[in-house]
Amino acid sequence: MIYLDNNASTKVDPEVRATVAEALELFGNPSSIHAEGRRARRAVEEAREEVARLVGARPEEVFFTSGGTEGNAMAIFGAAAAGASRKIVRTGAEHPSVRESFGRAAREFGLEEVVVDPEPSGALDPRAFSAALEGGARLASAMLANNEYGGVFPVEQVAAAAREAGALVHTDAVQAAGRIPVDAVRLGVDLLSLSAHKMHGPKGVGALYVRRGVSLEPRTPGGGQERRMRAGTENTAGIVGFGVAARLARERLAADAQAVARLRDRLERSILEGSGGARVVGAGAPRLPNTSAILFEGISGDALAIRLDLEGIAVSVGSACSSGTPEPSPALLALGLDRGDARRVVRLSLSRWTTQEEVDEASRRIAAAVLAMRETAAAPALA
């Protein structure tokens, strides 16, 4: 299998896997005061330090969660629960966990939800976002990098405008962390979400950065874990694995990004030259180095993804968290694509484990599959 679906989930790094296996022996509850509990607590706190280093935070500003979805919900509901303004603002390209949390928070707290779409190029205009904040806002959320076409948004500028409007600022950095530099302080955000399995860590563990001094209403009562921000016994082995994945991502960031970007560009050139009638969505804006969303004219993205799976290539047609839904991607529609074109987009996402040989073979098979599907569609039906 040639795996080109790393924005959905990544291969666990061997060093992470070995560390998680060892951490399973830390069977004590991290909240217990005996020796076994203290061993587990020490491992959790060491991992917290590594996650904090990855995003330029203090360890006490990092709260472990079950993943990016929970971190986004914690941030949005916690911030939307209080404030003078009745308005909350987000981009139209957000992950479903942000989009749906915003909608539910607006209904629950009686707020006005304002959506700012990116430009057709894939870029987010900070002036448009700033205009949406006029009159004040309670919460603003702009993802650092889009999960479907890889667009990188100017969060630092958005955050500055949001602070002037009196809003708390949240960014979903799940796809960005480990692929581009992420510094919560430089960005000026109050809340930032992460997930381990997007950076070669285990599934089921993530983190929420909460800037010191920001008060959120906890949404998971029932215990004192994570300083009462999120009750429940910590996933010790997963957290330890997250810490190792964060350290490796930080150490390898520059080299990985450069190598993966070269392979991504090579893949795109080969596919566009070999298949014709195709274009890269969001190519006119800053993008993640590993992500390519390609629109194939006359081809169903779902049908192509299924065919490629049968030929040993794993790709996707949008967010894995919204798979199975019949509607086209809201993020792609927000770029101005019509419903038909939005359904013709296939996402290819690479990782540090992707090789040039895989890229060359994948581009050959993808181009061949596209041409064959077009020929079949053009052939006259038998009477």
In this prediction the pTM is 0.95
pLDDT digits (tens, 9 = 90+) for 136-178: 999 999 999 999 999 999 999 999 999 999 999 999 999 999 9
Q: Which of 66, 4, 2, 7 is nearest to 319 (CA)?
A: 7
**Mean pLDDT across the stretch 234-239?**
97
Q: What is the pLDDT of residue 218?
A: 86
Q: Which of 379, 370, 325, 330 is nearest to 348 (CA)?
A: 370
Token pair in block for residue 42: 């020490």
Q: What is the pLDDT of residue 383?
A: 45
pLDDT band, very low/low/confident/very high, at 322 (cuts 50, 70, 90): low
Which domains, from first to last, does the chain contain? Answer: 2-8+253-374 (3.90.1150.10), 14-248 (3.40.640.10)
**Mean pLDDT across the stretch 99-127?**
98
What percentage of residues in the chain have a pLDDT greater than 90? 90
Active site annotation includes 321? yes
Dihedral angle of Cα 290, 13, 51, 182, to the nearest 10 degrees: -10
Q: Which of 194, 154, 190 is nearest to 80 (CA)?
A: 190
Q: Please provide the average confidence, as pLDDT, over all residues in the chain.
A: 95
- pLDDT above 70 (res 321): no
pLDDT band, very low/low/confident/very high, at 326 (cuts 50, 70, 90): low
- pLDDT above 70 (res 105): yes
Query: How far apart (Å, rounded) are the C-alpha atoms in residues 62 and 158?
Result: 22
Burial 158-183 (b: 16+ CB within 10 A, else e): bbebbbebebbbbbbbbbbbbbbebe
| Given the residues 115, 259, 321, 333, the one annotated as active site | 321
Residue 30, classed as helix, strand or coil, is: coil
9 to 214, 325, 350: CA distances (angstroms)? 31, 19, 11
Return the residue matching tokens 């770029």: 335
Lowest-confidence pick of 8-22, 104-118, 366-380:
366-380
pLDDT band, very low/low/confident/very high, at 325 (cuts 50, 70, 90): low
Q: Which of 56, 109, 118 is nearest to 79 (CA)?
A: 109
Which residue has better confidence, 145 or 222?
Answer: 145
Q: What is the pLDDT of residue 224?
A: 85
131 to 138, 158, 188, 330, 373: CA distances (angstroms)? 15, 11, 19, 22, 45
Query: How far apart (Å, rounded) are the C-alpha atoms in residues 28 and 187?
Result: 37
Element containing residue 58 per DSSP (H, E): none
Q: What is the pLDDT of residue 244?
A: 98
**Mean pLDDT across the stretch 50-69?**
98
Element containing residue 187 per DSSP (H, E): helix 184-187
Backbone angles phi, psi at 91, to 5 degrees: -85, 160
Q: If 0-12 CB within 10 Å is exposed, 13-18 middle and 19+ buried, where does residue 374 land?
A: middle
- pLDDT above 50 (res 13): yes
Element containing residue 65 per DSSP (H, E): strand 62-65
